[in-house]
Structure 1
Amino acid sequence: MAKVKVGVAGYGVIGQRLADGVALQEDMELVGVADVAPTLSIRALRERGMPYALYTALPEKKGDLEAAGIPVSGTLEDLVQKVDVMLDATSAGVGAKNKELYTKYGKKAIFQGGEKNDVADVFFHGYANYEKGLDAQFLKLTSCNTTGLIRAVDCIDRKAGVEKVAITIIRRVADPGDYHRGLTNALQVDKAPSHQAVDLMTIMPHVNATGILVHTPVTHGHIITIVMTPKKDISADEALKYFDDHPRIRVVSLDEGFLGNASLFRYARDLGNPRGDMYEIALWKDTVVKSEGDIMFAINIPQESVTIPESIDGIRAVMGMQKDRIEATNTTNKYLGIGKWKDLS
């Protein structure tokens, strides 16, 4: 069976991780990546020996790339014509413009969470609504927080049903290396409900969700606390077992040294993971408690990498590579090496 040909538009925080993730999929071929300028990510790509072909998103900027010694294989329009599906990781609003190009050539595309929902046919999550993405032309991923949140809620929902959730998101203010948000020593609260709660209900309309978001002056990871009301009464130990069985949820504990977001980032680096990435969300077993019929727990969201597996699930859905969500997500997990720690336990 021929490999599915994939291109990536935007080689930034998410785009470079999408490229690496697709390159690991043995049933996919990464044709190339597109960007507009010799950014630090593109310069690093050159110093790595150009493992991926680079296409210029703006033909008039080709000279800037070549002046920096970066070889250019063509334009974004050239790349689009060579692929089956595009992963669009460009800045918010740019993807909607790129959609015109994808439509022109009848190509499928998957947009990241920063685009507006109306850019796509389906608001997509690999575990919660994989079937809705089958053979669609355009998908939009959920944001990093929503992706991890839905993993945890869907996990319990499929075992015991979930009536409602209340969430508090302790949100990193910027990605590592970003300066545009300035230097700060303050917390900031957004109006409720947070968009993550609203987005969860869009993906899982049978769950009543609300939430509050707090911006914090840190860069490595978000933490979400969740109070969940299952439809079926379950114990904290039962919930913990369900979480532990999920391939993209890693159960950790304070006693092991996982004290917070920084501990998880350091651990990922010590594992030798590129860029200190983890595809799994971490769930602290020390936080799983029961209050009457509710289950409360806390999770860590590695914001730069958490959406990569679901993005690849999206390729499998739109291309009809696997019709079953478990077969699809398991295949993605296998090639990304997700769940390796479980083999050691």
Structure 2
Amino acid sequence: MKKIKVGVAGYGVIGQRLADAVALQGDMELVGVADLAPTLSIRALKEKGMPYNLFLVDMNRKPEFEGLEIPIAGSFEDLVDQVDIMLDSSPGGVGVKNKELYASKGVKAIFQGGEKNSVADVFFHGYANYEQGVDQDYLKLTSCNTTGLIRAVDCLDRNCGGVEKVAITIIRRVADPGDYHRGLTNALQVDKAPSHQAVDLMTIMPHVEATGVLVHTPVTHGHIITVLATGKKKITKEMALEAFKKHPRIRVVKIDDGFQGNASFFRYARDLGNTRGDMYEIGLWEDCIVESGNDIMFAINIPQESVTIPETMDAVRAATGMQQTREDGTAATNKYLNCQCR
């Protein structure tokens, strides 16, 4: 079996996780990762024995790496020359510049949510519009919140008779763990409505009317989203719960079992032994699914650092034509990442 050769641009919060996920895919080969500076992530990579080849975005900085005895496999261009597809997790705005190199080399690319939609042929989600991404050159993932939100709404839409509209409230972590650039805060901040997640959902699922409010909170481990969904026919709690429990990337939990909030999921992932405390599934509280007239309301937890990783693997499968359908593509990703109904 010929493996798809994959490179990762940017070895930061997302890039580390993309590299690890590609390495787990039995039908993909991680050629290497590229970065600009000897960050803490790169230093940790070296201390772990350099499991991945490292390529430099700026070869003028090679002496910095050599001084730290960090081995270099080549330039960023060398990496692009060796792959079938690049996973670009560079800072927002850098990916669109990298696209010029990818295009000149005839290499496909997947971009993360920080880039503008115009960078790609398709704004992509593994479950909601997989087939639209098949054999396309450039795909862009949704943001972490949008990725988890669409998983849940798409699940109801496909299994409970269709969804007409949703209203969401996003309680958003202010920064990733270890970040300092946002400052030390003790306040909540509200964005203007509708939030971009609602707009993005409608872009990928145009048959669903969506609106939403976003509140920034001074926490780092995960977002929480409440969703009020109106079905084309009444969606009962029993119908919703049955659908959610069958979804490989939704972890249904109970408050009574100890899942009191975002920190509970992070601690549980660490106790499971998951690398970095990551969890690929969104968490969904069974205790918080309620019927409101003809609507259904529920709450989900979004592990922001890792939730987009499975959908990125789906994107590789779609763009390279490895699997032609959402069923086959997502099933292959789930198998290698050990995502399963719980």
- Equivalent residues in 2 for 1:57-76 (5 A)? 57-76=57-76
Give the match for residue 26 of structure 1.
26
- Write the deviation string for residues 83-111 of structure 1: whole angstroms up to 9, x where unpaired: 00000000000000000000000000000
Aligned to 2:308: 307
Alignment of 1:149-298 (within 5 A): 149-159=149-159, 160-298=161-299
Query: Counterparts of 1:207 and 1:320 in 2: how far apart (Å)?
Result: 28
Aligned mates of 2:171, 2:200 — CA distance in 1: 17
Letter in 2 for 1:286: D
1:90 paired residue number: 90
Question: SS at the partner of 2:283?
Answer: strand
Matching residue of 1:55: 55
Tell me which residue corresponds to 2:103: 103
- Offset from partner CA, 1:207-250 (integer Å, 9 cap, x none): 00000000000000000000000112121111111011111001
1:209 partner SS: strand
Q: Distance in 2 between matches of 1:63 and 1:332?
A: 39
Following superposition, the deviation at residue 10 of structure 1 comes to: 0.1
1:269-321 Cα shifts (integer Å, max 9, x gaps): 00000000000000000110001110000000000000000000000000100
Any idea what SS the aligned residue of 2:114 has?
coil
Which one is further off, 229-238 or 271-280? Answer: 229-238
RMSD between aligned residues = 0.7
Structure 1 window deviating more from structure 2 (189-198 vs 60-69): it is 60-69
- TM-score of the aligned structures, taking structure 2 as reference length: 0.99
In the alignment, is residue 8 of structure 1 matched against residue 13 of structure 2?
no
Q: CA offset at residue 62 of structure 1?
A: 1.6
How many equivalent pairs are there? 341
Which amino acid in 2 is paired with 1:229?
Answer: T
1:40 corresponds to which residue? 40
Note if 1:331 corresponds to 2:326. no
Shifted more, 55-64 versus 254-263: the winner is 55-64
Shift of 1:29: 0.2
User: What is the CA–CA distance in structure 1 between the aligned matches of 2:235 and 2:297, rounded to whole Å?
Assistant: 12
Query: For 2:325 and 2:92, how far apart are their aligned partners in 1?
Result: 31
User: Structure 1, residues 43-98: CA drift from partner, whole Å, max 9, x if none?
Assistant: 00000000000000112122212222111000110000000000000000000000
Task: Letter of the 2:259 partner, please give it.
Answer: F
- Identity among equivalent positions (%) equals 73
CA distance in 2, matches of 1:157, 1:8: 33
Structure 1: runs of 5+ lacking an equivalent: none
What secondary structure does 1:14 align onto? helix
Q: Tell me how far apart the structure 1 counterparts of residues 328 and 63 of structure 2 sit (CA, whole Å).
A: 45
Aligned mates of 1:234, 1:113 — CA distance in 2 = 31
CA distance in 1, matches of 2:91, 2:109: 15
211-220 or 228-237: bigger deviation: 228-237
Confirm or deny that 1:319 pairs with 2:320.
Answer: yes
Deviates more, 1:244-253 or 1:62-71: 62-71
**Displacement after TM superposition at 1:324 (Å):** 1.3
1:128 paired residue number: 128
Give unmatched runs, 5+ long, in structure 2.
none
The letter for the 1-side match of 2:290 is: V
**Structure 1 length-normalised TM:** 0.98
SS in 2 for 1:305: coil
Distance 2:200 2:58 in 1: 33
Q: Which moved more, 1:59-68 or 1:49-58?
A: 59-68
Q: Following superposition, which runs of at least 4 residues in structure 1 exceed 6 angstroms of deviation? A: none
2:321 is aligned with what amino acid? G
Shift of 1:163: 0.3
- Report the Cα distance in structure 1 between the residues aligned to 2:93 and 2:70, rounded to whole angstroms: 26
Rounded to whole Å, the distance in 2 between the matches of 1:152 and 1:2 is 34
Distance 2:307 2:234 in 1: 30
